[in-house]
């Protein structure tokens, strides 16, 4: 009976991961290629989220201590989650805020469950298998039903989208899939033949998606992984190499900032980043109108909001979000929410630096690469603090895992510390007698 329960648990975990990755999800949007109202409730998604909440209740009752410990370690994220709920008090659409905050809570708790339930190596093995399903399915859809498999947009009519609702989603999945497959191949998690085959397959899909941001995040994550590996050696040579790479990286970022227009031209992108700069200008304007607390979590981009409709009219298309996580958090939760987001990122950086050189923290380089990749992708997309999103799951998972490693190191250090004998209260301490020479 226990074996059947464990198999069902893994099955539901895999299904929820596929859903959050967006594989044929949501099905109505995928099949119709039409974006519905941003504030509308999809019955299938609502049913799936209800099933996720029920699943989380069951696994939390089965492992209450592990889940409570995970929630404690994720306390900066929990603060942001609480702020998302509180924003219903000052939002013009409190019911929508509560609904989306509940979905965010379920997504966050699902990530905490993954961090507490699975060893990261075993989870990587599962992610490789799920990525293989998405890769094969995307290629098959493009070959059999190109009307569904191709983006068909005005700007990128021949870009692939595969089993996802947009080409950028395919590109992001391919970039992270290549990272996960490479790590699985290097560490031997799961069949290495499958991991080896997925690396070129994901890179092919990344190229066919014609998405630039995933290419940048792939290079950034790879570079940071090399830097972290150098520091992780824990010796003088490793420190010098790591320090040199950090200096080179800073200089490279400076060169990118100076020659940004030329680099975009090489990537066949416009200086406006496919219209994103216009969206950013509009978002900053409306953030300034409610600077401290924002418009409520997930409540800005809705059909009955004057602000959103004004932006849509000026840009002549229905913008789903700000295409920048920081601006989206500013619209939703204001300066207070931005301060909370900064706290979360600083906590992630502190945990990564703290456990980077620990021998037992075997997955720290992988977690750092994932966090940096998510940081990069959120410069032009909105994936941070986003409900029902697999990159938010990955970030929370890495955050909690690094917290577990830091807590384990602290506990081991306290256990190894010598216990000094306590002097009774009121006892007089006499100096030790001198020995004769």
Is 37 domain-assigned?
A: no
Q: What is the pLDDT of residue 414?
A: 82
Is 418 domain-assigned?
A: no
Is 2 domain-assigned?
A: no
Structure confidence by residue, pLDDT tens digits, 214-232: 999 999 999 999 999 999 9
| Whether residue 382 has pLDDT greater than 50 | yes
Structure confidence by residue, pLDDT tens digits, 391-410: 999 999 999 999 999 999 88
Owning domain of residue 204: 8-32+54-409
Number of domains composing the chain: 1
Q: Pick the range with the lowest mean pLDDT from 37-41, 139-143, 381-385, 419-423.
A: 419-423
- pLDDT band of residue 329 (cuts 50, 70, 90) is very high
| Whether residue 346 has pLDDT greater than 70 | yes
d(CA 348, CA 399): 6
- pLDDT band of residue 436 (cuts 50, 70, 90) is very low
Is 355 domain-assigned?
A: yes
| Whether residue 435 has pLDDT greater than 50 | no
Radius of gyration of the chain (CA): 24
Is 174 domain-assigned?
A: yes
Is 43 domain-assigned?
A: no
Residue 255: is the preceding peptide bond cis (ω within 30°)? Answer: no
Is 327 domain-assigned?
A: yes
Is 166 domain-assigned?
A: yes
Q: What is the pLDDT of residue 264?
A: 65
Residue corresponding to tokens 């998690």: 189
d(CA 428, CA 430): 6
């Amino acid at each position: 009976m226990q074996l059947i329960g464990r198999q069902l648990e893994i099955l539901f975990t895999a299904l929820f991961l596929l859903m959050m990755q967006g594989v044929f999800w949501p099905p109505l949007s995928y099949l119709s290629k039409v974006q519905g109202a941003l504030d509308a409730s999809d019955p299938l998604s609502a049913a799936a989220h209800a099933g996720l909440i029920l699943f989380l209740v069951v696994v939390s009752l089965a492992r209450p201590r592990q889940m409570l410990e995970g929630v404690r370690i994720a306390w900066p994220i929990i603060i942001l989650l609480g702020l998302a709920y509180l924003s219903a008090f000052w939002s013009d659409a409190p019911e929508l805020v509560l609904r989306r905050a509940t979905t965010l809570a379920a997504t966050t708790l699902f990530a905490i469950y993954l961090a507490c339930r699975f060893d990261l190596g075993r989870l990587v093995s599962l992610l490789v298998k799920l990525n293989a399903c998405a890769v094969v399915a995307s290629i098959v859809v493009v070959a059999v039903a190109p009307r569904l498999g191709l983006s068909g947009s005005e700007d990128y009519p021949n870009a692939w989208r595969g089993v996802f609702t947009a080409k950028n989603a395919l590109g992001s999945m391919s970039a992270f899939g290549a990272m996960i497959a490479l790590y699985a191949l290097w560490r031997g998690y799961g069949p290495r033949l499958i991991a080896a085959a997925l690396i070129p397959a994901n890179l092919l899909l990344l190229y066919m998606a014609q998405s630039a941001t995933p290419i940048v995040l792939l290079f950034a994550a790879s570079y940071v992984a090399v830097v972290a590996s150098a520091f992780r050696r824990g010796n003088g040579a490793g420190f010098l190499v790591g320090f040199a790479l950090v200096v080179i990286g800073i200089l490279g970022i400076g060169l990118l900032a100076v020659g940004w227009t030329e680099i975009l031209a090489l990537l066949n992108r416009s200086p406006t980043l496919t219209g994103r700069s216009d969206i950013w200008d509009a978002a900053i304007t409306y953030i300034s109108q409610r600077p401290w607390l924002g418009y409520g979590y997930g409540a800005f981009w809705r059909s009955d909001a004057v602000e959103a409709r004004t932006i849509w009219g000026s840009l002549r298309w229905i913008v789903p979000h700000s295409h920048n996580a920081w601006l989206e958090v500013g619209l939703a939760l204001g300066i207070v929410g931005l301060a909370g987001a900064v706290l979360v990122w600083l906590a992630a950086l502190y945990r990564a630096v703290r456990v980077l050189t620990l021998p037992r923290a075997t997955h720290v380089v992988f977690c750092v690469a994932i966090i940096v990749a998510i940081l990069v992708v959120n410069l032009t997309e909105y994936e941070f603090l986003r409900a029902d999103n697999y990159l938010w799951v990955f970030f929370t998972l890495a955050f909690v895992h690094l917290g577990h490693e830091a807590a384990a190191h602290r506990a081991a250090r306290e256990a190894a510390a010598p216990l000094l004998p306590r002097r009774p209260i009121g006892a007089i301490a006499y100096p030790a007698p001198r020995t004769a020479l």
